[in-house]
Amino acid sequence: MAPHAADTAISPVLPTYARADVSFERGEGAWLIAKSGDRYLDFGAGVAVNALGHAHPKLVEALTQQAHKVWHVSNLYQVEGQTALAEKLISLTFADTVFFANSGAEALEASIKMARKYHAVSGHPERYELITFEGAFHGRTLATIAAGGQDKYLDGFGPVTPGFVQVPLNDLAAVSAAITDNTAGFLIEPIQGEGGICEATKDFMQALRSLADEHGLLLVLDEVQSGVGRTGHLYAYQDVGIEPDIMASAKGIGGGFPLGACLATAEAAKGMTPGTHGSTYGGNPLAVAVGGAVIDEVAQPEFLEHVRRVSGRLSQGLSMLADEYPDVIESVRGRGLMLGLKCKRPNAELQQAFMDKGLLTVAAGDNVVRLLPPLIISEDEAMDAVARIEAVCAELSPKGANDPKEVSAS
Ligand SMILES: *Cc1c(COP(=O)(O)O)cnc(C)c1O
């Protein structure tokens, strides 16, 4: 039987996503406007992508200016926008060099390959194994699902790509015990995003750095979600007092245009010589033009200060709701504008209820709803979100279960 004769009930777009029944026509700042005309306060930001919100004038200008010049040239040639963006990133971080990709998973692939190559050219090709952490998410390629180690993403996709061992987060003894002659280094998200806004403690991150130095291993950070101002620092590691050897960045760095980057020290990158890695689209002129405009904006001290200030108000408001409605919200987690509500009810139910009140959020592991608003939100918009969340809590909270504060909460 011809393949197309078997079952034509499949949707035209491969049904790998559980999509909500809404489609957005345009965006303005922190707001998305549906085809129906309904306005939604966007506290998902395309999963931490729209760092500057929707239709930011500076990004529109950067993209259209470049679009009038040249869209794509091969990496067979010089791409000035890549050099400019790389120099910005180098001046603002630990890095000496940058590889550009199109997505988070590709930034991770480059990071993983670089870590292996470093040891290979250092005379230790047997050091190809990265120690990763339970609850991690590093992408959906064959290597990155192996790195993430989650059965739900690995199931049915054949042999698991070798080279990854997993230990519990914040368990230093388990990390030490897992180090063998095959270890290349550690791969960690400073704050797990998909895993449910689970933070690696500062002590743990510092201890990983020390262990890496002691054993000649590499510290590889996945800041695809936590980077580009999300935590109130350009990168989350900058608040921890350590520096990585290699770091993957994506999501927010393109502000909505597909862009990823693998940042590294010269030492860690020493094996990545011409021909060892590449990407047709990686560092495309349109992408790096937008990326440059994003970094110019986000890296300003006042911008990061704004993120920390709004975060303070938002987390304070959310913590009050957790106190008032403990039967709906168990606790508030995270840093900056990478916050999570640990739910007492199923997180999917809460996410839907928030959406019904015009607030977009993103579910995560560990029964958490993530709040990942554009970094440009105002304090009023933060309080608007708190009010919408409160309205849901009040509806879901069993009558009479609250303390007397409920009366005055109006
Ligand atoms: C989203 C994400 C990725 C994968 O990024 P894609 O662009 O979807 O490939 C990797 N790591 C982390 C921490 C992420 O949040």
How many A from CA of 225 to the centre of ligand 1? 7
Residue 405, pLDDT score: 47
Shortest-distance atom of ligand 1 to CA 251? 7
* Main-chain phi, psi angles of 171, to 5 degrees: -115, 90
pLDDT of amino acid 400: 46
Taking CA atoms only, the protein residue closest to ligand 1 atom 5 is: 104
What pLDDT score was predicted for residue 410?
37
For residue 340, report the distance from its CA to the centre of ligand 1, in Å: 17
Residues 49, 254 contacting (CB under 8 angstroms): yes
Distance in angstroms (rounded) separating the CA atoms of residues 52 and 257: 12
**Nearest protein CA to atom 15 of ligand 1, as residue:** 225
Is residue 222 in contact with ligand 1, taking CB distance under 6 Å?
Answer: yes
Instruction: Please name the amino acid found at residue 250.
Output: A
Looking up tokens 């300003």 gives 300
CA 40: distance to chain centroid?
Answer: 22
CA-closest residue to ligand 1 atom 10: 138
pLDDT value of position 93: 98
| pTM score of the predicted model | 0.95
What pLDDT is stored for residue 398 in this prediction? 79
Residue 284: CB within 6 Å of ligand 1? no
**Residues 160 and 217 sit within 8 Å (Cβ to Cβ):** no
Instruction: Name the packing angle between helices 347-356 and 379-396 (round to 10°).
Output: 120
Could you tell me if the CB of 193 is within 6 A of ligand 1? yes
Ligand 1 pocket mutation, candidates 137, 169, 189, 262, criterion most atoms within 8 A of CB: 137
Q: Per the structure block, which two tokens stand in for 54?
A: 């929707």
103 lines ligand 1 (CB under 6 A): yes
Which is the closest atom of ligand 1 to the Cα of 105? 9
DSSP alpha helices (H): ranges in 57-198?
A: 57-67, 80-92, 104-121, 142-148, 151-154, 172-178
CB 187 within 8 A of CB 130: yes
Domain positions in the chain: 24-55+302-396, 57-298
Strand segments (E) across 162-251: 164-167, 183-188, 191-192, 198-199, 218-222, 246-249
Q: Evaluate: CB of 225 within 6 angstroms of ligand 1.
A: yes
Cα 58 to ligand 1 centre (Å)? 25
User: For the domain with range 24-55+302-396, which CATH number is right: 3.40.50.1000, 3.90.1150.10, 3.30.565.10, 3.90.180.10?
Assistant: 3.90.1150.10
pLDDT tens digit at each of 410 positions of the chain? 455 555 679 999 999 999 999 999 999 999 999 999 999 999 999 999 999 999 999 999 999 999 999 999 999 999 999 999 999 999 999 999 999 999 999 999 999 999 999 999 999 999 999 999 999 999 999 999 999 999 999 999 999 999 999 999 999 999 999 999 999 999 999 999 999 999 999 999 999 999 999 999 999 999 999 999 999 999 999 999 999 999 999 999 999 999 999 999 999 999 999 999 999 999 999 999 999 999 999 999 999 999 999 999 999 999 999 999 999 999 999 999 999 999 999 999 999 999 999 999 999 999 999 999 999 999 999 999 999 999 999 999 975 455 544 444 43
Q: State which ligand 1 atom lies nearest to the alpha carbon of 140.
A: 9
Distance of alpha carbon 208 from alpha carbon 220, whole angstroms: 10
* Architecture in CATH of 57-298: 3-Layer(aba) Sandwich (3.40)
Sheet-wide strand order for 39-42: 24-28, 31-34, 39-42, 359-360
